[in-house]
Amino acid sequence: MITKYLALPGPTEVNPEIMLEISKPIFNHRNVIFKDLLERVTEKTQKLLNTKNEVYFLTASGTGAMECAIVNTLSKNDKILALINGSFGQRFADIAKQYGADVIEFHGEWGKGFELDKIKKIIDELGDNLKGITVVHCETSTGVLNDIEAISKLRCSDKTLLLVDGISSIGAVKVEVDKWNIDVILTGSQKVLALPPGLAIIAFSSKAIKAYEESDMPKYYWDIGKYRKFYIENRETPYTPAIPLFVGLLKQLEVLEEKGFDQEIKKHEKIANMVRYAIRAIGLELLNDDDIAANTVTPIKVPDGIDLKQLRKILLEKYSVDVAGGQGKLEGKIFRIGHLGNVEPLFIISILAALEMALKELGFEFEVGRGVKAAQEFWINNLK
């Protein structure tokens, strides 16, 4: 049984047109076809990220790219500030600690944006001693979109690097790598880019590359120096790349570019709003305020008297709809509807309709159809 409706914050559905590309015969990653492909996906990814920074591709999940960001730019005992308001912010901190960085954890409330004035104070106190800041753009575990541009501006020293996990934001939300002075940013193939999982993307600023030269953390597979050398000299990757995902990525970037990268961001905005209006109309409570809510995933509080396991089971077994549960502190307290990548309004209508029916079955009191109607109305009013 394959789930028909994948309403997760990743992995996301792959467009059949893209899957056809991915299914083409394997070829040699040391030959001219791949070199050309690698150069083209690099250029297009730079456009997507609004950057001239160097872009590299790893055969890995997003967590691998987080580790790659840490071990290439930091050294043991480097003081870094880890901004944490969810489980992925914590992950960034944990990786840095594992490699011996001196990590100052700043904990924000889960589901809320950061209090920037408090962060500013810490940064100012540390001054030149602060080597880096780690932060997650879209904190998938809580649905919060952190304000990277504002956080970037808090730095008071040229020495402080900004390392950003853009796994669930890139492509769905404006990301201005150069304008925002992001030193390292990374994402995975299975999120907004809507490819199968298995490929991670990471971009390094010239400041980050300089930090690499001084970094003493051990690394081999993640050693970006090898990726640079192989790319510059031969347009190759140092180790066997996930070839089919490169073919799919080029096609997907072409499709997105043709639609317009900004149009995709607007699409995600509209769809997120449809979901939020609908959830409120049903009478459920959102975890986030709208001003900090990400357009890629919507966390919803589990209402009193509803058994989340039952709800997810009915959704999956009766309607073939897979929504995500909560993570970490929020496990059992929220469920999350992912709406990123290839999602379209009618897909969302289907998810909402199934959610309403499952809630009804579990005895939640509301007027069936209200959520769907709210989504339709938002859509009608916002058709261009």
Question: Alpha-carbon distance 49 to 360, whole Å?
Answer: 43
Which region, judged by CB under 8 A, interacts with a copy of itself, from 116-124, 239-247, 284-292, 359-367? 239-247
- The binder of a copy of itself chosen from 240, 262, 290, 365 (CB under 8 A): 240
Question: Alpha-carbon distance 216 to 22, whole Å?
Answer: 38
- The binder of a copy of itself chosen from 118, 128, 206, 218 (CB under 8 A): 218
Q: Does 75 bind a copy of itself (CB under 8 A)?
A: no
Measured from the CB of residue 257, what is the shortest distance to a copy of itself in angstroms? 23
- The binder of a copy of itself chosen from 67, 139, 165, 264 (CB under 8 A): 67
- The binder of a copy of itself chosen from 17, 23, 124, 257 (CB under 8 A): 23
Q: Does 383 bind a copy of itself (CB under 8 A)?
A: no
Q: Does 213 bind a copy of itself (CB under 8 A)?
A: no
Q: Which is nearer to a copy of itself, 325 or 369 (CB)?
A: 325
DSSP assignment string, 178-229:
TTTT-SEEEEETTSTT---S-EEEEEE-HHHHHHHHH--S--STT-HHHHHH
Binding to a copy of itself (CB under 8 A): which residues in 27-66?
A: 27-31, 33, 59-64
What letter would DSSP give residue 4? S
Decide if 249 contacts 189 (C-beta within 8 A). yes
Q: Does 105 bind a copy of itself (CB under 8 A)?
A: no
Q: Does 217 bind a copy of itself (CB under 8 A)?
A: yes
Is 276 annotated to bind ligand? no
Q: Does 19 bind a copy of itself (CB under 8 A)?
A: yes
Burial 264-297 (b: 16+ CB within 10 A, else e): bbebbebbbbbbbbbbebbebebbbeeebbbbbb
Decide if 182 contacts 148 (C-beta within 8 A). yes
Tokens of 98: 């594992």
Q: Does 24 bind a copy of itself (CB under 8 A)?
A: yes
Question: Alpha-carbon distance 137 to 191, whole Å?
Answer: 13
Which region, judged by CB under 8 A, interacts with a copy of itself, from 45-53, 174-182, 192-200, 261-269? 192-200
Phi and psi at 193, nearest 5°, equal -70, -10
Q: Does 315 bind a copy of itself (CB under 8 A)?
A: no
Decide if 191 contacts 101 (C-beta within 8 A). no
- The binder of a copy of itself chosen from 121, 157, 239, 263 (CB under 8 A): 239
Q: Does 197 bind a copy of itself (CB under 8 A)?
A: yes
Decide if 74 contacts 105 (C-beta within 8 A). no
Binding-site ranges for a copy of itself (CB under 8 A): 1-3, 6, 8, 10-14, 19-20, 22-31, 33, 59-64, 67, 94-95, 98-100, 188, 190, 196-199, 217-221, 238-245, 316, 322, 324
Which residues carry a binding-site annotation?
Answer: 336
